[in-house]
Chain A
Amino acid sequence: MAVSVDEAVSAGPGRDHTPPTRRRSGRGRAVLEVALLTVLAVVMLFPVLWMIETSIKENRDVYAIPAKFFDFKVTLDHFKDVFAGSGGGRSALSVSFLNSVVVAGVSTALATVLGVPAAWAYSRFSVKAKKDQLFFILSTRFMPPVVVVIPIFLMYRQLGLIDNKLGLILIYTAFNVPFTIWMMKGFVDEVPAEYEDAAMLDGYTRLQAFWKFTLPLLLPGIAATAVFALIFSWNEFVFAIFLTSSDSVRTAPPAIAGLIGGTTVDWGLVAAASVVFALPVLVFAYLVRKHLVAGVTLGAVRR
């Protein structure tokens, strides 16, 4: 959004040779644009702002009418409650955060380990009905989770994977592998196959050629892909709420949702938990930006 504001502002000086009257109207337009964009930004960002505010307000101020925007007492008690249980020790929420880290981390690692070599193979070798296979792989992502969650639930019950972290890891991996293959295939296509040909003539095997020469060039792409997979696993809600029930297995999204719905809702705790939950995603998003740039410029490597 900052970019569009900059563009709107800098549009004025850019048109030096336009007549003064036109120029004044152009400046008026720029001001209008900035104003509209500011309104849009406030509307879009208000819930986030409100969440952060609520997380550091005392309960008294949370329920105050009229709502207090600025003159409230800052407290970090809610954040303490997110991590520490009422009777001492860890809270159920902190366990769910740990579960989220494990489930998202392991499923992303698995998807990367399986997807990257697959993408390499689809990029480098002539595979029978390659396009059909790739389409089939993509098609597993067509169905929304809600549609498949019932059959998955029934299968998992037979296999004893209900209320089991492994169950979540497997289903998230299954969802992330197609994505990894598709995204990584693009990155592999960008790396000339001749590096591997040259390495094989140097005396390396095909796998060594991939490992030593192509893989290092793919690292920015792998990072970008893994971050996307991580964000999917981290944010996933539908499977998590259907397939897990106990506090020791639950991931953060259903755990946070579970805070709402009792007779009284501790909005301060909900807001604090949401802030803690959103932070890693924001960090990841920042990383995506960095690595995506690196990934895009990969094609600019001089051949």
Chain B
Amino acid sequence: MGTVAVHGLRKSFGKVQALDGVTLDVPDGSFFVVLGPSGAGKTTTLRAIAGLEKLDAGSVHLDGRDATGDTPAARDLAMVFQSYALYPRRTAYENIASPLRARRCSSSEIAAAVEQMSSLLHIERLLQRRPAQMSGGEMQRVALARALVRRPRAFLMDEPLTNLDLKLRVEMRTELTRIHRSLGGTFVYVTNDQVEALSMADQVAVLKEGKVQQVGTPTEVYERPANQWVAGFVGSPSISLLACHAEGDRLVGAEGWTLPRPRWTTAEDRRPLLLGLRAEDLSVERRGDASLPGELYGLEPLGDRTVVDVQVGTEMLKVKARPTFTATPGERLHVTVDLDRAHLFDAGTGLALSETGR
């Protein structure tokens, strides 16, 4: 059991509106990721769920019961802090045992639970060390063990991997998914790293300036971004946006290019639009008739692929190419567009156009 639902959360710090009506529904047993840039209100949302933040408005429901006024202890949650917040004077063993001690478990229960957790997270040899004697990755595992040692309603994780180096972060990503699968339980996971969100989540909520932009599966968020901002935030390299409008059966760019109008769009003629094109839906090889003329601006070889920057008029397109692709800057080339996978946004509101015809 463990559903978490928040409704209309509002919280301001002085003049800054950190949460502006956040509503989320976390299903039981899911790995729910709250994704957003720094300052989006992700951590505040998590702290509100934990009961660490006094809200201006809104409610928190745990397992369907209103828990808005409950103390953190009464909510029966566990949390991993971004700074880990391991008690400095205590050994790893005592840190992990703390939630059980607070709930007056017997010392034999505690010993068994700590042992199980430390073998799951491979930290047996750290148990007698203090936080100051551990590396960042080790502290991270101990903090994780402290949260996982109990079976609370839900596990809250506040950017737990942000302070790790890249290699460790990738490792822990897989590890966390494995733990979620083996332990079950509801995970609410906050991150600003879209790769973490897309790779780990069952569901993603994208947050910006205290407002929920979109909630959906990673595929939905990536394939059907609700608005121009989500499209730009999710995905790397980020999506290229070109100003254009529809005219009959053609799409006419502000820079003078024309493309066949995608079959699925119903946008009326001359309405200002933004055409969103992801790097993997573009190609520097000539195929088909939908292509944009441009000139090579630069190359970013990334090992497994090369990102080609192509200048179309004053606008820049990021194109994914084979790692062997070479060209000289200034060279004229044509970028082939997969229009079936393109996105159209209203230039005024930024909202995605209805894609019902797709």
Contact = CB atoms under 8 A, between A and B. Distances in A.
Interface of A: 192, 194-195, 197-206, 208, 213, 216-217, 301-303
Contact of B73 (A195, A201, A216, A301): A201
10 contacts: A195-B85, A195-B88, A197-B79, A198-B85, A198-B146, A200-B71, A202-B73, A203-B99, A203-B103, A217-B89
Contacts of B99: 201-203
A302 B134 CA distance: 10
Given A205-B71, A205-B73, A199 B89 contact: no
The SS class assigned to the B binding surface is: mixed
B73 A204 contact: yes
A208 B104 CA distance: 14
Interface in B104-157: 131-132, 146
B81 interface: yes
B217 interface: no
A204 to B, nearest CB: 5
A203 B71 CA distance: 9
A192 B84 CA distance: 11
A302 B98 contact: no
A213 B51 CA distance: 19
Contact of A197 (B52, B78, B103, B146): B52
Nearest to B152: A201
Given A192-B85, A216-B89, A302-B88, A201 B77 contact: yes
Given A192-B85, A194-B85, A198-B85, A302 B72 contact: no
A197 B132 contact: no
A200 B81 contact: no
Contacts of B86: 198
A200 B88 contact: no
B87 A195 contact: yes
B28 to A, nearest CB: 20
A199 B98 contact: yes
Given A200-B52, A204-B73, 4 more contacts: A201-B77, A201-B79, A301-B88, A302-B131
B78 A201 contact: yes
B102 interface: yes
B218 to A, nearest CB: 28
B98 A217 contact: no
B83 interface: yes
A192 B89 contact: no
